[in-house]
């Protein structure tokens, strides 16, 4: 469910922000005439989506609802969305021309483009926080994870992990499985990984989760004094697995800023989310993009 509860709600509400440059340039204009000229010149044009078919992982909204919401937000005329059950399925649709664009994050898009130069990406939202999700009752565990995230950020360790496993990852090298130490008699936290935002959230060809998130978990494990066991799960089953206590945490969830949260807090989907789940503080950021053929 790449377009997760928060992201789906924000799309439906038309809440994705326009590029910051537009606002800054408009405010800098001296006269109404200048302001109108700048706004007209800087307004993003999404007409390249007109009549096109998009794909992304299934969300809480129907394909028709997502299509209508995106068209309203972008001023476009997208033909339709077709949901898939994984990033791999969506990419296969794009390669076979059964879809014209894939809605995803810039981290995954950059990773794909480096290995598939026939694609390009177009950004349409600003920075979104990436967080982990827990059951609503697991506040103590959430607080421990937040403390560990803060320590890894302040020490610079998380930045080094990002550089190693994402920024500087050679194109010919896939993310590896960082070693996670386990100690007998320590409590184990089961973490679900879907692999739908490579190489941040990544599952290797052998089915084993790898890359940045696993390196981050290894660092968190040392700080909180608990064993971490990674469980591969499908995107569409993440919330069900969490509620059934098959896992205790899952990667990853889009985390909007406070202004966005305020605007969508009364939406049923958002209220249902808060009734059952909580999130950690963001551990990194991404932008939402369209991935399409050149």
Last residue of a domain, one of 85, 105, 123: 123
Q: Is residue 156 located within the same domain as residue 219?
A: yes
Whichever domain contains 244, its CATH number is 3.40.190.10
Q: Is residue 242 located within the same domain as residue 136?
A: yes
User: What pLDDT is attached to residue 24?
Assistant: 36
Last residue of a domain, one of 71, 99, 123: 123
In a domain, residue 29? The reply is yes
User: What pLDDT is attached to residue 50?
Assistant: 97
Which residue segment(s) compose the domain that 179 sits in?
128-286
Q: Is residue 113 located within the same domain as residue 157?
A: no
Q: Is residue 180 located within the same domain as residue 53?
A: no
User: How many CB atoms sit inside 10 A of residue 71's CB?
Assistant: 17
Residue 216 tokens, joined: 């981050």
User: What pLDDT is attached to residue 10?
Assistant: 44
Q: Is residue 109 located within the same domain as residue 174?
A: no
In a domain, residue 292? The reply is no
Whichever domain contains 48, its CATH number is 3.40.190
Residue 269 tokens, joined: 């989907």
292: phi then psi, degrees, rounded to nearest 5: -150, 165
Q: Is residue 95 located within the same domain as residue 157?
A: no
Q: Is residue 37 located within the same domain as residue 159?
A: no
Q: Is residue 115 located within the same domain as residue 239?
A: no
In a domain, residue 267? The reply is yes
Name the 3-class secondary structure at 3.
coil
Nearest to 58 by CA among 99, 97, 105, 7: 7
Q: Is residue 119 located within the same domain as residue 172?
A: no
Q: Which residues of the chain have pLDDT under 70?
A: 1-42, 60, 176-181, 184-185, 255-265
Q: Domain tally for the chain? A: 2
In a domain, residue 89? The reply is yes
In a domain, residue 233? The reply is yes
User: What pLDDT is attached to residue 16?
Assistant: 46
In a domain, residue 282? The reply is yes
User: What pLDDT is attached to residue 69?
Assistant: 85
Residues 47-75 have pLDDT tens digits of 999 999 999 987 767 899 889 988 988 99
User: How many CB atoms sit inside 10 A of residue 254's CB?
Assistant: 24
Helix segments in the chain, DSSP class H: 5-13, 20-28, 32-42, 63-74, 87-95, 106-115, 139-155, 157-162, 212-224, 238-243, 258-264, 268-276
User: How many CB atoms sit inside 10 A of residue 230's CB?
Assistant: 21
Q: Is residue 267 located within the same domain as residue 179?
A: yes
Q: Is residue 174 located within the same domain as residue 221?
A: yes
User: What pLDDT is attached to residue 36?
Assistant: 52
In a domain, residue 230? The reply is yes
Burial per residue of 49-60, b for 16 or more beta-carbon CB atoms within 10 angstroms, e otherwise? beebbbbbbbbb
Last residue of a domain, one of 104, 123, 142: 123
Q: Is residue 162 located within the same domain as residue 276?
A: yes
In a domain, residue 229? The reply is yes
User: What pLDDT is attached to residue 172?
Assistant: 77
The C-alpha atoms of residue 101 and residue 105 are separated, in whole angstroms, by: 13
């Amino acid at each position: 469910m790449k377009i997760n509860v928060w992201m789906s709600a924000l799309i439906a509400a038309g809440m994705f922000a326009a590029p910051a440059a537009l606002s800054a340039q408009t405010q800098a204009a001296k006269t109404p005439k200048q302001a109108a000229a700048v706004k007209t010149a800087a307004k993003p044009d999404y007409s390249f989506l007109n009549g096109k078919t998009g794909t992304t992982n299934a969300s809480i909204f129907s394909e028709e609802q997502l299509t209508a919401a995106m068209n309203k937000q972008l001023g476009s005329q997208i033909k339709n969305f077709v949901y898939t059950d994984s990033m791999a399925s969506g990419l296969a649709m794009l390669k076979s021309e059964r879809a014209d664009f894939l809605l995803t994050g810039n981290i995954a898009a950059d990773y794909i483009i480096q290995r598939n130069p026939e694609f390009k990406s177009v950004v349409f939202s600003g920075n979104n926080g990436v967080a982990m999700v827990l059951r609503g009752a697991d506040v103590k565990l959430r607080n421990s994870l937040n403390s560990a995230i803060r320590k890894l950020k302040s020490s610079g360790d998380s930045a080094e992990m990002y550089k190693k496993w994402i920024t500087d990852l050679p194109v010919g090298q896939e993310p590896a499985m960082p070693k996670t130490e386990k100690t007998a008699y320590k409590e184990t936290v089961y973490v679900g990984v879907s692999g739908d935002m490579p190489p941040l959230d990544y599952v290797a060809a052998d089915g084993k989760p790898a890359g940045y998130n696993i390196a981050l978990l290894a660092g968190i494990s040392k700080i909180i004094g608990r064993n971490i066991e990674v469980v591969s799960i499908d995107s569409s089953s993440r919330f069900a697995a969490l509620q059934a206590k098959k896992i205790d945490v899952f990667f990853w969830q889009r985390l909007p800023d406070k202004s966005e949260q305020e605007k969508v807090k009364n939406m049923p989907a958002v209220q249902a989310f808060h009734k059952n789940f909580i999130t950690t503080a963001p551990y990194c950021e991404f932008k939402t993009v369209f991935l399409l053929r050149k």
